Amino acid sequence: MLLGQKLLLVSPIEVLKRLTTIWMEAGFWDTVAFSFTRIVLGFFLALILGILLAFISGRLRVVEVLLWPFVIVIKSVPVASFIIISLIWLSAKELSTFISFLMVFPIVYTNVLQGFKNVDKKLIEAVKVFGVSWRRSLLYVYIPQIKPFLISACSVSLGMSWKAGIAAEVIGIPQGSIGEMLYDAKVYLNTSDLFAWTVIIVLISVLFEKMFLLLLKKYFEGLVKV
């Protein structure tokens, strides 16, 4: 029987004990920084490109139609398939950035595009009649109405970028990543390390999500104050 032998399911106390020591180990912060920078980079790249392409698609129907098959493919292909295919093209180090990007991009793109389509047509007409500049239309009409869609997209995709990014690292095993730590924990049946790293991933992901959404909301509030 393996039960009670800290192998199948380690107790929460054991995990807490491991958490108190794990962060003091050499290379812990480098490992966290390695995965954090790459996953977050993928998230930001997808955010920027998703918003940009959604705006272009919102104005030019032809771009939306051209992008549609790509977005559908990214949405439906299993993440594991992407990880394995990407390993052929990319080095393991860049894998989590690319996979995080692929997870976030369709969510941001489709949400922002939906927001763009939901912008009050009567307001758009008013802006046209008054000859309001593109910059001011964006600030007063488009951003306030797209804002809830963007916040919702970020809220959903932030957690997913971490899940997929770490999964990519576990498969690609780039040296010095959180994924490598999880892989080692699995190979050496070190369940307490596995749970401790999982808790760390959840903490970083939640903290980053909360901070990012807070800053995003503050930014939008700042835009409204005129």
Residues that bind another protein (CB under 8 A): 120, 122-123, 125-126, 128-133, 136, 139-141, 144, 224, 226
Structure tokens at 64: 């939306």
Q: Degrees (nearest 5) of the Cα angle 93, 191, 26?
A: 50
Residue type, 149: F
Give whichever of 66 and 138 is closer to another protein, judged by the CB atom.
138
Q: In the bound complex, what is the minimum distance in angstroms from residue 141's beta carbon to another protein?
A: 6
For another protein, give the closer residue by CB, 202 or 224.
224
CA dihedral over 22, 26, 28, 31, signed as positive or negative: negative
Minimum CB distance to another protein, residue 142 (Å)? 10
Whichever of 25 and 221 has its CB closer to another protein, that residue is 221
Task: In angstroms, give the least distance from the CB of 148 to another protein.
Answer: 11
Q: How many helices (H) and strands (E) does the chain have?
A: 10, 0
Distance of closest approach, residue 136 Cβ to another protein, in angstroms: 5
Q: How far is the CB of 225 from another protein (least distance, A)?
A: 9
Torsion of CA 149, 151, 157, 159, to 10 degrees: -150
Give Cα separations from 162 to 1, 33, 117, 213, 220 (angstroms): 35, 13, 29, 15, 25
Residue 116 Cβ vs another protein, minimum distance, rounded to whole Å: 16
Closest to another protein by CB, 210 vs 217, is 217
Q: Smaller CB distance to another protein: residue 139 or 213? A: 139
> Taking Cα atoms as reference points, which of 111, 94, 97 lies closest to residue 53?
111
Asked if residues 34 and 177 have their Cβ atoms less than 8 Å apart, the reply is yes
Q: Which is nearer to another protein, 44 or 220 (CB)?
A: 220
Residues 115 and 146: beta-carbon distance below 8 Å: yes
